[in-house]
Structure 1
Amino acid sequence: MMIGLAASIAIVVFLVCIVFIVYALRSRAARSHISILSLIILLLIGSSLGVYASVGRFSDWERAQVDNTKDHRLAAKITQARRVAMNKPRSVEARRDLAGLYMQGGLFGESAKTLDEALTITGPNAGLYGDKARALYYRDHRQMTPEVKLTLEKALSLNPTEASSRMLLAEHAFRNKDYAAAISEWETIIKAHSAPEREAAIQRAIANAREKLAQSK
């Protein structure tokens, strides 16, 4: 409805412009002021485009509001998870849940710190190291930094098929178009059944990587 209104305004402005042009061609007096008429026409067109732009982008604004609502909900979840972690100072699960929410919110550094807290409780733990490596990787803008590599080494030395670590290595290889390496990492997870809930998605990723590998040859 709103976009239709904007289109109607544009049509009216177009008709007004035609009237001005006809008047300018027939009237000697108007010919002497053609530059003024042209300016008026441009202003009318500009204003109609402005109306259309503001109306046409309303749905985007509405979607932004929805996303903002999601952000508020996530912030509320993070706040609640912090409270739980504070009230349960020896709970690894509470810290892992909080770290996961931090990841969802893009707070990758906070996620890594929270996983460090969990590691002080458990001691060396392959799964926690794998999750921490992912948090560090995204904190460092998807770079395989020495800290990320060291954390991955700790995870895989404890469990060579640790799912989070292998997934991260696969994703990094795929992103850098090393499709063969990505396939190898994903197949390691499948063979070890270390992430049964993800196997369908991993199989699709392998198929996609094989297709890209074939195209690159």
Structure 2
Amino acid sequence: MIIFSIIAGALALVALLMVSLPLLTSRAKSAPGSPRTELNLSVYRDQLAELDQDRRAGTLDEHQYEQARGELGQRLLEEVPDAEAPAPAPAPAPRRTLATALALSFTVPILALLLYLALGSPASLLPQQGDDEHGVAAQQVDAMIARLAARLENNPQDGDGWILLARSHAALDHYGAASSAYAKSLAIYPDNAQLLADYADALAMAQGRSLRGEPEKLIERALRADPNNVKALALAGTIAFDNKDFAAAVNHW
């Protein structure tokens, strides 16, 4: 949130400078006459003076004088088109320019903030409520497990349902409930080596991570059903290692 505010403030300052500096530094600029224009005007004045001298000397009569003067003026208009261009507009007064810059310095950030609140995502700047979302998800999972358990009470012969319930409890570290569900599934699939190994694992976790007793018997049943079951072999190797029978442990592993 703090980093975002710093970056947003810096960007707003840059935008204000880009808008305000041209207003504050503007000055009235007069368009200077080009050298060519000045030269044409000088030539025009010289030629006009010569025409006046010729008229006074009698070389040109009044009609010839007016005709030559008109032609001279026409050439001047053609060669100096800038003479008809409008004068540039005066620059704004300094006080008015300063007032405009100050007004922009207040209105631009306010408008940007209002647009962000209307079109952006202000909520994304707030700390995320991760714990609350996790709590809601956990409640939903618990509700689904409860519905599954209620359905199995009405249909206790659904072996796959008991397996799903057992593994769901085990995933949530509810090893006592998982063991009970595995026992129900084994009543339907008594020779399933994987179920026997999973049941032994959950029961061992429920009794303090100890494979002695009933878990060890379940592992023996699993290996009789499938001597190559990976989980049953791993658990059997752990039992042998705890008994310091390292050769048997290596053989199982």
* Pair member with larger Rg: 2
State the TM-score, normalized to the length of structure 1: 0.48
State the TM-score, normalized to the length of structure 2: 0.42
